[in-house]
Each structure stands twice: as structure tokens, then as C-alpha cells.
Chains A and B, each alone.
Chain A
């Protein structure tokens, strides 16, 4: 998952959000379908619409920095963002708003010691986006359920 995540949007060579958004749109199918391409399989809750791109959204530089530092918690397809942002905001201090949407992220690949069969595990959780008072996204996070 980590390698795929890094490959798909955080290559560290200046690939812009537009490219990663386009990649996401090509990689992920709507309505909860899990796609394993590029080793990155995540999905929003059933019924969620995956939009074709989020190029018109504004992101703070810290979003990218966070995605590179800890992709496991902070990197998921940008094509999810509009759908997450369509949820009811949770207001915080200073005009800050948080948006949350249930979904699934890839977990560990577990190998059966007897058969050697490898199984991909998944984690249920919440995709979370934070938007500051100026409308800039400065927080993207996947919060796994307990």
C-alpha cells in the first residue's frame, strides 16, 4: 500500500495534484468497488459518489508534506475529496470545518503459515478532511475504527 500510495501522488518529483487526481480517477471505480491497481485499494462507503477530480479545490502545502511523512494515515485518492466535502461539516474554532465520510483502507497483507496464501486485509474507518476559514484544505486523514 505504501509503495502504491507514494507512486500515485507523492512521487517527490513535483508531480502536481492535477496528475494525481487524474490517476485517481482512472484507478478508482465508483460505488464502493475495490480496485487493487497500483497496490492501493481504498473505497468510500457504499453509495458514495467518487468524483472525477478535485482540481478546483485548494490545498495547503502541509497536505502534501503530511502525505509523504505518513502515507498510511494521510494519503488517499484526491478523487474522494469532493464526496467527503459533501457531508455535513463539523464546525471547530476560528471558522475551521471538518468533514468525515466512512470508508475502507487497505491494511496488512497476511500470509497463512501453512498454505503460504497471502490475504489482503482491510480497515474500516473514516476519511477526514479539514478546511480552514479561507476554504483551503489543510488536513486529510484516515481514521481507522477501533
Chain B
């Protein structure tokens, strides 16, 4: 069983090891090219919002909704996993 946390913090990889801490490269998890691209694109947009200090709440909500979607996709690609979502903007876990 893998315990993962999806996290949009811009210097990370988008996925953390919930138990050991630190970030995991999508390649190490054997994710599909499509999902890796999706995570990369989402991280880039999350990064822009960090620089903008998360002032536009509607964009932050959309980014977090997309992050939760990524959690679902991760679960599909790694069935033996428990995936949580951490909002980098809100600095808190959100039930995925």
C-alpha cells in the first residue's frame, strides 16, 4: 500500500510520501504520460498563484478542485494506494 499526498507546492513534484515525507517523482510511481502532464500543468498554474499570493480565490478553488481530481486519477492508476489532498494555498488537508 502506498500512502500519497497530492500537493501543489511549486518546488515539489505534486506528490508527497505521506509516511516518509518528501516528494516523489511521478516517474518513480510509473504514472501514465497523460497524468504526469496533467500534474505538471497543474503545478505550473499553482506556482503562478503562489507568486500572486493566492489573491484570486476563485482560481485557488479551481486549482484545489483540480488537485482533488488528480487524487482520483492517482487512485485509478495506483489501486493499492491511499491518496490525500493538501491545499498548498490553504495550507491544510482537504478530504478528497
Contact = CB atoms under 8 A, between A and B. Distances in A.
B53 A62 contact: no
Nearest to A65: B91
A92 B51 contact: yes
Contacts of B53: 94, 132, 138
Interface stretch (A20-28, A45-53, A67-75): A67-75
Contacts, number: 45
A69 B86 contact: yes
A73 B51 contact: no
Given A92-B51, A132-B53, A70 B16 contact: yes
A70 B52 contact: no
Contact of B22 (A66, A72, A92, A94): A72
A139 interface: yes
Contacts of A96: 50-51
Given A2-B21, A65-B91, A66-B91, A73 B12 contact: yes
Contacts of A82: none
Q: In this complex, which of B20, B23, B51, B52 has the most chain A Cβ atoms within 10 angstroms of its Cβ?
A: B51
A66 B21 CA distance: 12
Interface of A: 2, 61-62, 65-66, 69-73, 92-94, 96, 128, 130, 132, 138-139, 141, 143-144
Interface of B: 7, 9-12, 16, 20-23, 48, 50-53, 86, 91-92
